[in-house]
A = this chain, B = another copy of it.
Amino acid sequence: MKVTGIETVPYVIPYHHPVVAASGTLSCAEHVLIRIHTDEGIIGLAEASVRAFVYGESQVSIVEAVRLWFEPALIGSDPFAVEDIATRLAWIPANNTTHGAIDIALHDIRGKAAGMPCWRLLGGSGAPMRVTHILTMGKPMEVADEALEAGARFAISSFKVKVGSKDLKSDIERVAAVRNAVGTNASIYLDANHGWTAEQAIKVLNAMVDYDIDLVEEPSPSEDLVGRQRLARHAAIAVMADESAPTLATATRELVSGSCRALSIKTTRTGFTTSAKLVAVAQALGGRTLIGSQADGMIGTAAALAFSSAHPMLACEPGELDYYTNLKDDLVVEPLQVAAGVLTPSSRPGIGVEIDEDKLRHYKVR
């Protein structure tokens, strides 16, 4: 089997609510559907998602990177050779979600060619994944209500609370309100999108100890190495690395240095091939891994679900797998549906997604 070409279709789907984080605000999903075609008619798909202020990609840059570099490198290659291909593509700097989507689309082909879901081909048993709902960065009672609603509608019992604002007191109040609302059995972890300084983080996190917080993601700027070491020593809540650990080398450095004790694994940026290596490194160094959301739509979520349910270390943790509920629509024939607080991966071949071509035509841009 050989790759014959790569199709890119940029599309935009509006959000129900704009998403506010310490790093910026988003009002719609800007994605690029990537489809890798083969000489045997099997098509592998994935979505690259624009996170301009995280990776500096745009829809135009993704389409152009595929045309200029990824497609010429892949044409004629066996799509099964993901290790070889990853090595060959490693020279392409940045373009994180393009790299991720290309690798996922290759794995989708692998699954379809072998007639089995990716999670099985990756060595898992298709475990249902407990879903984490990411709460918006609103006023304490609004956020608490949002958590209650997710609990009532989908039986969700794991929540990520956005913090890292300039108003430390409001951060604490938001966390307190959520914990009071969801009760002691739910899991809560935080994401500060490095909005605090290390010293602020130590103070705020230690003030939150009573709220039984599992982890804090990116409490302080990743370039502040000394501050992060201070934080690891003095804060009672362990750190999860995300933006500071987007590659194998950076993630390893964070774990080895002790700056973090967990990695947010985002298949959207590291695909399946590198994500598996990140899981291996975390396992080797005693770290935890949680599947994270890169503002994924349903296609990206299906991929993250297939990957995480294949890896026992990820499958035993809650995963950020319902971001798509904030999109007003999706492109998928059989939509994902959280039930009893979990998402069960598809048993269809590959990542288990079929595209609704009418909807794709509708949301396609340019």
Is A122 an interface residue, CB under 8 A from the partner? yes
Query: What is the CA–CA distance of A276 and B248 in the complex, to the nearest angstrom?
Result: 14
Is A211 an interface residue, CB under 8 A from the partner? no
Which of A248, A249, A256, A280 has the most CB atoms of chain B within a 10 A radius of its CB?
A: A280
Q: Which of A36-44, A74-82, A154-162 contacts B (4 or more CB under 8 A)?
A: A74-82
Do B248 and A280 have beta carbons less than 8 Å apart? yes
Do B123 and A81 have beta carbons less than 8 Å apart? yes
Residues 265 to 304 of chain A near chain B (Cβ within 8 Å): 273, 276-278, 280-281, 283-285
Q: Which of A113-121, A219-227, A335-343 contacts B (4 or more CB under 8 A)?
A: A113-121
Do B281 and A124 have beta carbons less than 8 Å apart? no
Is A72 an interface residue, CB under 8 A from the partner? no
Do A248 and B283 have beta carbons less than 8 Å apart? yes
Do A123 and B256 have beta carbons less than 8 Å apart? no
Query: What is the CA–CA distance of A122 and B78 in the complex, to the nearest angstrom?
Result: 12
Report copies per complex. Answer: 2
Q: A116 with B281: in contact, given A123-B273, A312-B87 (CB under 8 Å)?
A: no
Query: What is the CA–CA distance of A285 and B280 in the complex, to the nearest angstrom?
Result: 12
Shortest distance from the beta carbon of A86 to any chain B beta carbon, whole Å: 8
Do A251 and B284 have beta carbons less than 8 Å apart? yes
Is A64 an interface residue, CB under 8 A from the partner? no
Shortest distance from the beta carbon of A346 to any chain B beta carbon, whole Å: 16
Determine the chain B residues whose CB is within 8 A of the CB of A124 once the complex forms: 81, 83-84
Can you list 25 contacts pairing A with B, beta carbon distance less than 8 Å? A78-B120, A80-B116, A80-B120, A80-B121, A81-B123, A81-B124, A83-B122, A83-B124, A83-B310, A83-B311, A84-B123, A84-B124, A84-B125, A87-B313, A114-B116, A123-B273, A248-B283, A252-B284, A252-B285, A277-B283, A277-B284, A278-B280, A280-B280, A281-B281, A281-B284
Seed contacts A86-B123, A248-B284, A281-B284; 18 additional CB < 8 Å A-B pairs: A78-B120, A80-B120, A82-B123, A83-B123, A83-B310, A84-B312, A114-B114, A114-B121, A121-B121, A248-B280, A251-B284, A252-B285, A256-B285, A276-B276, A277-B283, A277-B284, A280-B280, A280-B281
